[in-house]
Chains A and B, each alone.
Chain A
Amino acid sequence: MAQTRDDLDPALAVRILRLEAVVQGVAWGLVAGLLLFLATNVLVLKGGRIVGPHLSLLRQFFVGYQVTFVGSLIGFAYAFICGFAAGYLVSIVYNRVVRRRSNG
């Protein structure tokens, strides 16, 4: 009531978010895993003479991955692990930067 229209709430607006590393890791992992799972299966359903020539290049990094349904499950697992690692690391780095900035 006492705020102006532009002043939403200092307590909320000023507070800086801290990220939960594990939660972020799981979220990023699930998103990455699902993306690869869907991307693989879209190509599988589309079919054709050569299925997913570009996406299958990922097997260079994800050993055992291929553009098939079974491959999509393997890909999900790989992408989840990589996504988890990325989300986890982003959170750790972010929290450190924020802590350093707020202290300094």
Chain B
Amino acid sequence: MQRLVVIGAGPAGLTAAYEATRFGLDAVVLEKSDDVGGLARTADFKGFHFDMGGHRFFTKSGSVEKMWREVLGRKLLRRPRLSRIFYRGRFFQYPLRPGNALRGLGPWRAIAIVASWFKWQLFPYRTEDTFEQWVTNRFGRRLFRTFFQTYTEKVWGVPCSQLKAEWAAQRIKDLSLKTAVSNMFRRRRTTIKTLIEEFDYPVLGPGMMWKAVRDAIVDAGGTVELEREVLRIEHDGRVVSRIVTAHDGRPEEIEGTDFVSSMPITELVAKLDPPPPPGVLDAARALSYRDFLTVCLIVNRADLFPDNWIYVHDPRVKVGRIQNYRNWSPAMVPDPSKTGLGLEYFCTEGDALWRSTDEELVALAIREIAAIGLASAGDVAEGHVVRVPKAYPIYDSNYREHLDVLKTFLAEFANLQTIGRNGLHRYDNQDHAMLTAMLAVRNVALQEKNDVWGVNADPDYQEEVRLETALQRVFAKLDRFGFGVAVGAVAAAVLSLASLFPLIKGDPVMGHELALLAQYLPGYEASAIGMLRGLAYGLVGGFGVGWTFAVIRNAAALFSLAVIRRRVESRLLRRVFDYV
């Protein structure tokens, strides 16, 4: 019997095992931690539920949506979304609205922002290599510093002037020109509205989903083993034979016919036995991650603010985002007189924040929640810290090159596939991670040849391709020379035939009237010579008309394309933090 061994019990790993049992395979999941859910787990502290990162259940994939509904049924709630930006004691609408931002900042700042915008419209950066340059050219330096710089730098830990434009292009897929223009022409879809205004969410957070999936796997005869750290993955260069895990401090061998890994690809490579060539190990070491920790606070107040989460741009505090879990689902909070908050701090494993003790972090969170005025220190009953390592794969300027080395090396294995955010080192959401798992299992169970690395989770992809093709036809260049020649040739043919017509007909009056064209075409007459002259006039004049028309038409198409792109990009940028 085929036995699928899955490394990691996050959304990708559990989906893989769930799908495998549906295909009748024996599935075993190995999880390093003591809980399921991975990056989408829900922490439980004194009966309060805390979602690590806030996971909206939203997908364009029918298969993923089906699985969510199949597993959760009526426990999947439809929730309204409200998220605002908190800056200098005020809330600002999100997605950003320039009018609201200007009103909220006060008249002097508003004037300075408008003046800055004018300045950068007149004297923009000539190239847009960085996130800072790109935003500044669109919104001006002042608005960039107010609403974009601080939060982005908190999340990624590097100055916006060092964040490559490539990073944003990869992360903010919608900002690619073709998709943006496609969206402009596409019929407004309810899914887009849904993403902004409401989403689905399990009654007790995403952890509820993954616990239910674990139960379903076990009910179907599979196994989910917790606290099983992978020590090494034994192979012969082409086939993985077994995985050695740590179980109660003793090594234990797990055999399988097929292997799927959602663990960080860097760790996977490092645990291969025998080890890969040095170049592959170097490539793995060159990939990096951003981590975060959540300080969970139980607050003795029922209503603090109506948002699901707040983006904290205020540079005076370190906290980047504050989740109000009560507003995600009322059932996340067992006591209706209290609120569960999650203060998210973005950091890097091993830095000062990461190394702080839990007590220090809880004290920091209490100070900061009081400093920004959302709750007083006396309102906070208790605190708890959850660290989430390797939360975000970093797309630095060389990551693609390093990842390709790993991809090429791993492709040699006939029975090993990697899936999920960290398995593919791709900044995917939960639904994308699940889809990669589904495709990997189909490769095992049905011998399909799905390219998990190349998966595009968007079922609108084909539609987008068609739209792009159509757009390319609309905005494609009219060949100036070609159009000039074509119009010239047809004009020459018309003029010469018209000149011949009176001669053939033998009508001198008609010829005389046609000769009036000499007013515009000197030397033209309705005769054999005139026909030749008409031919020349038609060719030259027609070419000029056609060529000029093509130039003007191309300029108009490019201008309208630029206007459309600018408008759509600005609209998308107002909700940029959905992607950051």
24 contacts between A and B (CB under 8 A): A1-B169, A2-B166, A5-B127, A8-B558, A11-B472, A12-B178, A12-B472, A13-B477, A15-B477, A18-B476, A57-B513, A60-B507, A60-B510, A60-B513, A61-B498, A86-B490, A89-B490, A90-B490, A93-B485, A93-B490, A94-B483, A95-B482, A97-B481, A97-B486
Spell out A's residues near B (CB within 8 Å).
Answer: 1-5, 8-9, 11-18, 57, 60-61, 86, 89-95, 97-98, 101
B177 interface contact, C-beta 8 A: yes
Interface string of B120-132 (1 = CB under 8 A from A): 0000101110000
Contact in complex: B137, A9 (CB < 8 Å): no
Least Cβ–Cβ distance between A53 and chain B, in angstroms: 11
- Which 3 A-B pairs give the minimum distances between C-beta atoms? A94-B486, A93-B486, A1-B169
Measured between beta carbons, the chain A residues less than 8 angstroms from B481 are 97, 101
Interface of A: prevailing SS: helix
B168 interface contact, C-beta 8 A: yes
Contact in complex: A5, B124 (CB < 8 Å): yes
B55 interface contact, C-beta 8 A: no
B514 interface contact, C-beta 8 A: yes
The answer, among B168, B176, B471, for a CB contact under 8 Å with A12, is B471
CA distance A6 to B558 in the complex (A): 11
Closest to B472 in A: A15
Interface string of B126-143 (1 = CB under 8 A from A): 111000001001000000
Closest to A24 in B: B486
Given that A1-B134, A17-B477, A60-B510 are known contacts, is A9 also in contact with B482, CB under 8 Å in the complex? Answer: no
Least Cβ–Cβ distance between A81 and chain B, in angstroms: 13
Q: How many A-B residue pairs have CB under 8 A?
A: 99
B489 interface contact, C-beta 8 A: yes
Interface string of B489-514 (1 = CB under 8 A from A): 11001100010011000010010011
Given A4-B126, A5-B127, A89-B490, 12 extra CB contacts under 8 A: A1-B165, A1-B176, A2-B165, A2-B166, A4-B128, A5-B128, A14-B477, A60-B507, A90-B483, A94-B482, A97-B486, A101-B479
CA distance A91 to B490 in the complex (A): 10
Least Cβ–Cβ distance between A89 and chain B, in angstroms: 5
Least Cβ–Cβ distance between B428 and chain A, in angstroms: 19
Measured between beta carbons, the chain B residues less than 8 angstroms from A86 are 490, 494
B487 interface contact, C-beta 8 A: yes
